[in-house]
Structure 1
């Protein structure tokens, strides 16, 4: 994501969080970011698209930070501790943005709903992997209960930070939470506690181990849009390619998809060397041959 778009998202979201989604105009967002209203429309077609992109931006930001911690190849307890601290720092830094999603009932459409659901599934797998790596076979009988209790503890503390402006020593947060999980796991094992929930109770999509076909396709479409926005092309050419992306998204949502239409749309991207990988991946999802 280029610097101007990133600054627009960060400045605009703080303003929206302060004044409310419905009481913040596109002009106000542009003014806050120090750009013209016309420049706003170079990046977003509507305020709803702006919010959807912002949600994805902030979610990817923390996902990247989690991945950087994981690459350090620390022991499982330290890895989870550092990731929890990353999460608390992120929540504290962008708490105005979090308040927006907590307090306002904003209808942003199917794309945002998919992003939110995808984040829930990925968070589930992050917590599952982290707990299994720390507690091994000891946690197997009560795995789902342990995930729910870990999520509940983190959520409870972080809501105090966001909604009630409570300050805490965030560098101690991760270690504190893991020690409480030690107590919970040991207590359940000592009592021979029967689990309230098992893997049989959770939605099938959570157990698939990764994003669905539709979620993966949406992510590839977003990467394609980002690459187009950063290409050294005339703005008119960029806008034309972005229009093709939107046409492709519309076609993907139809029950009777037309392979020839999809091939024709993808051909616009295969002409550009830097877009060929994304075009090939999307063609594979649709089961069509990429035209050269």
Structure 2
């Protein structure tokens, strides 16, 4: 990411945490970041667009950190503990991100709602993968229940840390959360009772554009295509453009055209075009 754009993001998070999203002006963000107001609009179309960029930026940072752990740890329990530690470390070092969410009740429409839904699905997929790796098929019936419980554990700690500005050791907290989570999972497996919720009752929109793009990204990563990096860049450009308040469709379709040339993903790309045209909001 451009250094100046990253600086604006960091400054705006601190201001949003201190003063609130609605009380912070673009002029104040630009002045504090030591950039002109015009420079702000080079990177962001509005304050809402900035908020979406913050959400997207830190989501991507978290995903990258989680993926790196898998490359360095083979034991599933150690992987999970290390991934939790990475998440805790990120939030310790960027408390402004937490405070920003607790400071104001922010709602900016379908774009952010779509991103939140996308991250919610990614979180569920990540938890499912980790839990199955640790406990095997015996935990499958309880996968929704244990995901909710883990979300509750982590989310509650984040909430108290943010509100009370608590100091903590990410490594120790991650280990403690894993221990509590392990007790919850083991008790449910041993009790062998009917789960509270089943995966079939969840209402993930697996047809939305961002979910389809994520599937294409995964397929490209696992492929042996020579131009893999170029194709992944094209997917990122599409994602970033569609997240803007007023995306430039000429950019989106030029990237789609590049992806369409690969037979391995051509069918999925046609589906993306159809979804974009159906929604009509772009």
Smaller-chain TM-score bracket: 0.7 to 0.9
- Residue 246 (structure 1) aligned with residue 247 (structure 2): yes
CA contact under 8 A between 1:98 and 1:162: conserved in structure 2?
yes
Please tell me whether the aligned partners of residues 238 and 252 of structure 2 are also in contact (alpha carbons under 8 angstroms).
no
Instruction: Give the equivalent residue in structure 2 for 1:213.
Output: 209
Tell me the secondary structure at the aligned position of residue 45 of structure 2: coil
Q: 1:25 aligns to what? A: 25
Note the alpha carbon deviations across 1:172-210, whole angstroms, 9 max, x for none: 1222222222222222233333211121222243xx5xx
- Change over 3 Å in CA distance of 1:155–1:267 after alignment to 2: closer
Aligned to 2:187: 187
Larger Rg: 1
Structure 2 length as normaliser, TM-score? 0.77
Question: Matches of 2:114 and 2:257 in 1, distance apart?
Answer: 25
Point out where structure 1 has 5 or more consecutive residues left out of the alignment.
Answer: 229-242, 249-264, 288-292
Q: How many residues align?
A: 248
Mapped contact 1:99–1:163 kept (Cα < 8 A): yes
| Partner in structure 2 of residue 234 of structure 1 | none
- Partners of 1:177 and 1:267 lie apart in 2 by 42
Distance 2:137 2:32 in 1: 52
Which residue of the partner structure matches residue 99 of structure 1?
Answer: 99
In the TM superposition, residue 283 of structure 1 has moved relative to its aligned partner by: 6.5
Superposition deviation, residue 269 in structure 1: 4.3
1:145 corresponds to which residue? 145
Structure 2 distance, partners of 1:227, 1:37, is 22
Q: Report if the CA contact (8 A) 2:145-2:196 is conserved.
A: yes
- Show the counterpart of 2:226: none
RMSD between aligned alpha carbons? 3.1
For residue 88 of structure 1, report the CA deviation from its aligned partner: 1.0
Q: Note the residue ranges of structure 2 that are not aligned, 5 or more in a row.
A: 218-232, 275-282
TM-score between both structures, scaled by the size of structure 1: 0.75
2:234/2:258 contact within 8 Å kept: no
In structure 1, C-alpha distance between the alignment counterparts of 2:134 and 2:252, rounded to whole Å: 48
